[in-house]
A and B are shown apart, each in its own frame.
Chain A
Amino acid sequence: MAFEIVAACVSCTACEMVCPNQAISAGELHFEIDPGLCTECAESYPDPQCASICPIEGAILDELGDPLNPPGSLIGILPQVAA
């Protein structure tokens, strides 16, 4: 049970600061989640903290590989408009 940060990440450090498990750190290209430490915040908070502050749609995926903040959910612009 762990989330994953992908290349869309802009390395803003916000998730690192709010993670209750210190599971997030700067990787070579973008921030990374240590799957051994990530609990998806199940016992700590109603919402996963990293995904609640991340400003980038599609940067954090759940364990099925689906974005926790899908396109259009944060900035309000659907991808076809942004393209």
Chain B
Amino acid sequence: MSALLEVRDLHLRFGGVKAVDGLSFDVHEGEILAVIGPNGAGKTSAFNCISGFYRPTSGTIDFEGRSIMRVLPSTITRRGMARTFQNLRLFKEMTVLDNVKTAMHANLREGFFDTLLHTPRYRRAEEACAREAQGWLDFVGFEGDEQLYVTQLPYGEQRRVEIARALATSPKLLLLDEPAAGLNYGEKQGLMRLIRKIRDLGVGIVLIEHDMGLVMDLAERIVVLNYGKEIADGTPAQIKADPVVIEAYLGAEDDEALDDTTLTGMVATVDDEVPPSGDAGGRSA
């Protein structure tokens, strides 16, 4: 079976800093792949390359056998790859239901004049859109009030809505960027069930995660990154036993500290927009 996503020799540099340095991996339909690595190892940068937000310096990324290099993120999503964000990025001034409906944008048969004139096509599309959105909300186990604004929801529920929103784009491959961050134990268990359920729909899943328990439990295959380089690729059992991985994780407290400062330096030179967060924010692995 050919791979859903093929990443080959991916490089990404910000100025002189190599954020991703030669990454290759495959994802197949209905597979759960985890990408792990110490803070600042380039996981999120790799995600951003794959989903089209960063332009990789070199390498190839094929989705269903077609290159998605230099393709707009929206086009990549339309081709069937959805993603969530590390620090929840819901549409804050929209209701829960509208957040999910928005994700159906590309799949809705509703033209400009349909909306303006409220044609039967418009009614049909809106009805189907609401129904699908509700279906996804129910699927992810969202139990709150879907007419609320997303900012009124507790954090765990917002995570669920974000996953429902990604599913509503009708993906073949779903990239989840630290979906368990900030969740409590019970919520993490729920999340694991949900991810397996999504996999059972036939969707391939790539997951960046820091919670090793969750990753070892859930993932069928794991790719380990360090300093933008891929240092291991294998089953959870192989990864657990891999001396290089153990070295990267446990071998050096200093390494990680050093890692943080290099990343902060990088953010400072390339970025005048966002203060360093997430990877550089010192969340422990």
- Are A and B co-members of a single complex? no
Instruction: Point out residues on A near B: beta carbons under 8 Å.
Output: none
